[in-house]
Structure 1
């Protein structure tokens, strides 16, 4: 039987088992707990640990229907098992997800299970040991019930952390905002449905949000709803799809345990390169990101850790001391600032300008700044190199551009924010020496920000001056013919400018998915421009250095007198030589051999395409994902009824037959054994039409720009200039050329208009007009 047919058969089996369970549900009256609907139901008999039949947390799953905002969770007297059991929670781990499939979920979940097992295996530790799992709570927050991946729910079903037919969409006439399932599981599930029991117990809290309200809202459930009840020491943030090594979470925790002033820490995020690093060979885009990630972890993060302020702790894998996150008595503080972005991007912008809304695209940068500058407290941020985690990176051009648009805009404006308000470090509780050191870092970051802001011009000027060496009599290309250097320079200069125009036009309102082939071609052509640049740089270096041993003997004089040597050779060595030296120093040189070439080829695209697209889409202050934030009333409600002695009960319809629950569990296991057929990205009709319309407009504009570029190439060519000279000589008229003069004036006027319009647009958006 073919795989699609087998998948349909397995899916049908699961659907039939689920439908049978739903039909055989019976009505029960459940007494309210503190006025809230809480159900304790038996888990499938297959997963109950031997000898634990009398332990409630391992035989029954608890369901809580929350009808409140996360900020009101504790005030509405909702509760959680670790709180009821009176357990001290040392580690509170959150895994946020949207519609990630079972493969990504299992990758992260099983890595977390291995980490908890490692903690339980540290028998000599004063904190951990055999019962260390009781000090760890794993919280899974899924963003939107209608968007959650059904096969991921099947994995959670096999673990005992979810059951069909239990959840309700309303309680006593109030809409449910989150479905909370709690179970202590010792089940490990693979993405193919293989189940093994006997693992280290894990306290799992699964929060299935009714509506899709984005990742910040998921973190608000974690920090503001569950945090006050659990009261953890350290909170660990993980994205589903990120895979920490088996000791990474312990390494992060150890940093907090050793240093009482550490408010936050992060480990090394590295690229999941696939089996045998196959992804690096197959995808130059992934290889370039691998190099970028590695150099950041080798150069940037350690430097910032020495200062005590890491500008961003990656949300995919980082940790915070819960105490450091708390707001002050006035309600202001790290968490208040962190969650401000939720209202800015959720329709409640409250008059916020474009600057502030872009700034909160990088809410994790805002959180780091708020922790370090917290009034009357002296928290620092650390980088823990031994805590490693791998993550998937975009391998398609549209996905890559969309991701970096949010990163670049958010980091740029968040950097402006931290630079402008640098003086807040002097009102914090840091000691004078730390204040001075942090002030140096803020100055360093300001200089970096200046170079980031001018990166487009800097890159073009480097290209221009290096390639212009081809016009010299001994230029890099003159071995072809006497005038080859000048011709090649002219061609690549105009190609570079044309590509800038193309990227600009494509960035003005287009989704990357609608112009992906234009972006991909631009990346390739920019790469060739960089090859030419490097060739010219190398040839210039060759001409500058001595060609004899005697010439190298007086090295100080060589540096002092040879300007080309001093400016090019030293700068290249200080950049790329530093990459090699620091990589070897960290004993991680392999990316220099597997990813450096791909990174250099795509480097112009990082500046000219990513920066251009980000700046042209400053008006887009969304995460560029999700979209559906509604809810479907398909679960049934719980009606409030009065019982004896004035007690209030909820009348609910839930499964009561144990064999039905076991049958759904077995059907879930069978369904996961067969992979679903691959589905290509599906665009709905409206989105597809919008992409088509925008792309048609782009084609028209590109044809217009292309025509103008052809005219410029023709009328600035040597052939046309010679023809004009000959014509002027024949007619004995003035050498004034009206067409060229008109062309220059027109282009200058259009450029001025575009610049003024663009500047006014940014100013108006900045002030919220």
Structure 2
């Protein structure tokens, strides 16, 4: 469509604020500056929250604004977050400038070692056990051309081997499927009831009038860490879930939360097993304790101004949340039980053969051994030093899951 340019006299006034943080003190502090700083002073109608790295599609923010205009009782609304396939450069491949000062100093030292220009003092430094291993590795990289120096600037040739590209492809593909199921099934169902369990901070919009008061107070309660128990510290990792509940049960109000599939944004997912595990550890800790908090406080819905019909719907959702919470606690055991049953059926074995080492017994033992190794490695080693172990275990678990899935379909058909 042709763009119709507005004259200067027709352009509405736009207030624009730019804030730059000097220190990265976490996401929650950024929200504090946004809500308690900018929003309290400018008194907006709506607040759009979006992560760095998230790209809104055309007209997506406008669609959220129109949806809030149409429904005055809507306190918050979320769009669909899609996963995009990053390019090689976005995956870290290609030539990149080295900006870390410590790494630049190490590269200069390793380059002098490679060219044989070290002094006696530098040689003694090199002979230390920890340094020797680190600098020998850098010298090896310099010999292979991984690092190059041009006009006193170091550049790194980042590339991924076949296994790393294979890993990144399937991790992103799995997240693509997960995001689609989460939005098309979970959020669509919750939106019909009027309560979204979590409005993601990556891409959602709130009505400023609704979030003021108790919702914001609970949202930032997690910042007072010195007064928290272990349960509260984990619970407020998912502060967005806490605020969603507070919006619904707000005193003498009848707010609802919605999901708008026509509004979408692209986000960059973790593309390595270590980044993925770190993200899911944080999500699992926060969501588990926050969900238990929602279940504990859901009876406060009686203090809101929702009608009897809406309250009945919320109570039905309350029962669904309890069952879903129990299932999440039993998920690991239930998957192992189903896998064991399918393995026995595949090899046509019965329970009476459990005392002997049958074919299915090997699969059971492998599964339990992998669970033990994951638990042991998780609590004894930093996750960054266990990348190879987690990658191999992920592949084996994937193979076992595929086997159980195929077997389930086969037995269902037969």
Bin the TM-score by the shorter chain.
Answer: 0.7 to 0.9
The aligned counterpart of 2:259 is 383
2:384 aligns with one of 504, 513, 516: 513
1:388-403 to 2 correspondences below 5 Å = 388-403=264-279
Mapped to 2, the partners of 1:121 and 1:394 lie a distance apart of 40
1:226 aligns with one of 28, 31, 38: 38
Structure 1 residues 305 and 122 mapped into 2: Cα distance closer, same or farther (>3 Å)? farther
Does residue 422 (structure 1) correspond to residue 290 (structure 2)? The answer is no
Shift of 1:368: 0.6
Task: Tell me if structure 2 keeps the 8 A contact 1:359–1:411.
Answer: yes
Structure 1 residues 232 and 122 mapped into 2: Cα distance closer, same or farther (>3 Å)? farther
1:127-138 to 2 correspondences below 5 Å = 130-132=10-12, 134-135=13-14, 137=15
Which digits, 9 at most, give the CA deviation of each residue in 1:565-615, with x for residues without a partner?
xxxxxxxxxxxxxxxxxxxxxxxxxxxxxxxxxxxxxxxxxxxxxxxxxxx
Task: Tell me if structure 2 keeps the 8 A contact 1:121–1:130.
Answer: no
1:572-611 to 2 correspondences below 5 Å = none
Classify the secondary structure of the residue corresponding to 1:381: strand
The aligned counterpart of 1:501 is 372
Structure 1 residues 437 and 518 mapped into 2: Cα distance closer, same or farther (>3 Å)? same
The aligned counterpart of 2:96 is none
Task: Tell me if structure 2 keeps the 8 A contact 1:312–1:368.
Answer: yes
1:562-641 to 2 correspondences below 5 Å = none
Mapped to 1, the partners of 2:365 and 2:5 lie a distance apart of 64
Mapped to 1, the partners of 2:5 and 2:87 lie a distance apart of 29
2:232 aligns with one of 345, 356, 362: 356
Structure 1 residues 266 and 538 mapped into 2: Cα distance closer, same or farther (>3 Å)? closer
Moved more, 531-540 or 335-344: 531-540
Shift of 1:254: 0.6
Mapped to 1, the partners of 2:258 and 2:238 lie a distance apart of 19
The aligned counterpart of 1:265 is 77
Structure 1 residues 409 and 473 mapped into 2: Cα distance closer, same or farther (>3 Å)? closer
TM-score (norm 2): 0.75
Shift of 1:491: 1.6
The aligned counterpart of 1:756 is none
Shift of 1:209: 2.7
Q: Higher helix fraction: Structure 1 or Structure 2? A: 2
The aligned counterpart of 1:321 is 207
Task: Tell me if structure 2 keeps the 8 A contact 1:470–1:486.
Answer: no
Does residue 412 (structure 1) correspond to residue 283 (structure 2)? The answer is no
Mapped to 1, the partners of 2:270 and 2:204 lie a distance apart of 21
Shift of 1:520: 0.6
Structure 1 residues 535 and 249 mapped into 2: Cα distance closer, same or farther (>3 Å)? closer
Shift of 1:122: 10
The aligned counterpart of 2:393 is 522
Unaligned runs of 5+ in 1: 1-117, 124-128, 138-202, 328-332, 475-484, 546-769
Moved more, 236-245 or 489-498: 489-498
Mapped to 2, the partners of 1:228 and 1:538 lie a distance apart of 56
Mapped to 2, the partners of 1:506 and 1:473 lie a distance apart of 33
Which digits, 9 at most, give the CA deviation of each residue in 1:134-183, with x for residues without a partner?
24x4xxxxxxxxxxxxxxxxxxxxxxxxxxxxxxxxxxxxxxxxxxxxxx
Task: Tell me if structure 1 keeps the 8 A contact 2:49–2:201.
Answer: yes
Moved more, 459-468 or 487-496: 487-496
Shift of 1:302: 0.7
TM-score (norm 1): 0.41
Structure 1 residues 299 and 515 mapped into 2: Cα distance closer, same or farther (>3 Å)? same
Structure 1 residues 539 and 302 mapped into 2: Cα distance closer, same or farther (>3 Å)? closer
Shift of 1:403: 0.6
Which digits, 9 at most, give the CA deviation of each residue in 1:409-451, with x for residues without a partner?
1001100000111101111122222111111111111111110
Classify the secondary structure of the residue corresponding to 1:430: coil
Classify the secondary structure of the residue corresponding to 1:209: coil
The aligned counterpart of 1:311 is 197
Structure 1 residues 222 and 432 mapped into 2: Cα distance closer, same or farther (>3 Å)? same
Shift of 1:362: 0.3
Shift of 1:471: 4.1
Task: Tell me if structure 2 keeps the 8 A contact 1:471–1:486.
Answer: no
The aligned counterpart of 2:223 is 342
Mapped to 2, the partners of 1:419 and 1:122 lie a distance apart of 52
2:59 aligns with one of 247, 268, 283: 247
Mapped to 1, the partners of 2:196 and 2:286 lie a distance apart of 16
The aligned counterpart of 1:293 is 179
Compare CA radii of gyration and give the structure with the larger one: 1
Task: Tell me if structure 2 keeps the 8 A contact 1:232–1:322.
Answer: yes
| CA root-mean-square deviation | 2.6
Shift of 1:263: 0.4
Moved more, 217-226 or 531-540: 531-540
Does residue 235 (structure 1) correspond to residue 47 (structure 2)? The answer is yes
Q: How many residues align?
A: 332
Task: Tell me if structure 1 keeps the 8 A contact 2:86–2:268.
Answer: no
Classify the secondary structure of the residue corresponding to 1:413: helix
Mapped to 2, the partners of 1:473 and 1:437 lie a distance apart of 46
Structure 1 residues 382 and 130 mapped into 2: Cα distance closer, same or farther (>3 Å)? farther
Shift of 1:488: 2.6
Shift of 1:508: 0.9
Mapped to 2, the partners of 1:362 and 1:370 lie a distance apart of 13
Mapped to 2, the partners of 1:272 and 1:130 lie a distance apart of 37
